[in-house]
Structure 1
Amino acid sequence: MKMYSILYHEVQPENLAVTMHSGDLEVLATPQMIAWMEEASCKITNCEEGMTTVGILMNVTHDAPSALHARVRVVSELVEQNGKIYTFNVSAWQGEKCLGKGVHKRATVNAKRFMEKLHQN
């Protein structure tokens, strides 16, 4: 059985490339599109108590612009789980226009141990 997550967002001023300093135009910023793809992927993972997932790979193209106040549909499909590694096909859409697409991977980690290691360095 395939697992999907679909989220909807409206492009706000804080989501624009000019605001996020990833470009000079008032269009959806690539980092924001990627963050929405990660958000959709997180909703599919089903971790036990004390566990979470962290992003380990994002390989996407940003193929078309999206303007302020556009409605964006973000889709994540879980295509493989190999041990602690989840692999997703991700995409962002405005109507029938594909804004971007690619592959995202996440790894399952123990949240407490992960943060402890962070603070040891």
Structure 2
Amino acid sequence: MNLQLGVRGQAQTIVTSLNTAKAMGSGHLEVFATPAMVALMEQAAVNALNLPAGQSSVGTALNISHTAATPLGAKVSATAELIEIDRRRMVFSVEVYDEVGQIGVGKHERFIIDIDSFLVKAQTRI
């Protein structure tokens, strides 16, 4: 595993009727949903990683603020920067912008996992 502090990942989307608060059940309005913003933050963090075959990462914690509403049709971009590494635990600083300015900010924690053993363990929960 070759991770370095400062590595960055990005993710983008367009606000459509599918990722609004109304569509996702997190509100009644046709604006970019907080759950969609969270998913974009996680996608940016995943995009920062180049893990070896057989490994992946899972999100374990988020502490975010969604600070501005973004309307239908707007472009939204997220950036994640790796700011802390503790063995398999990683912490990212995440920021989200629309075409006008920042709409979200926070920290996101992920853990590196071995895919096969993770899936075996997950199956024991049924």
TM-score normalised by length of structure 2: 0.91
Count the aligned residue pairs.
121
- Work out the CA distance in 2 between the residues paired with 1:27 and 1:61: 16
Correspondence list, 1:56-95, <5 A: 56-95=60-99
- Work out the CA distance in 2 between the residues paired with 1:73 and 1:53: 21
- Unaligned 5+ runs, structure 1: none
| Aligned amino acid, residue 35 of structure 1 | A
Quick one: structure 1 residues 43 and 68, their matched pair in 2 at CA, closer, same or farther if it must change by over 3 Å?
same
- Work out the CA distance in 1 between the residues paired with 2:98 and 2:124: 44
The residue that corresponds to 1:99 in the other structure is 103
- Work out the CA distance in 2 between the residues paired with 1:4 and 1:20: 28
The residue that corresponds to 1:6 in the other structure is 10
The residue that corresponds to 1:32 in the other structure is 36
| Pair 1:47 & 2:85 matched | no
- Work out the CA distance in 2 between the residues paired with 1:65 and 1:51: 36
Identity of aligned residues (%): 31
| Aligned amino acid, residue 75 of structure 1 | T
Q: Is the 8 A contact 2:9 2:81 kept in 1?
A: yes
| Structure that is richer in strand per residue | 1
Q: State the Cα deviation string for residues 20-58 of structure 1 (Å, max 9, x = none).
A: 000001100000000000001001122221111000111
The CA RMSD measured in Å over matched residues stands at: 1.1
- Work out the CA distance in 2 between the residues paired with 1:35 and 1:81: 21
Deviation at 1:96, TM superposition (A): 4.6
Deviation at 1:6, TM superposition (A): 2.2
Where do 4+ consecutive residues of structure 1 move more than 6 Å?
none
- Unaligned 5+ runs, structure 2: none
- Work out the CA distance in 1 between the residues paired with 2:9 and 2:95: 11
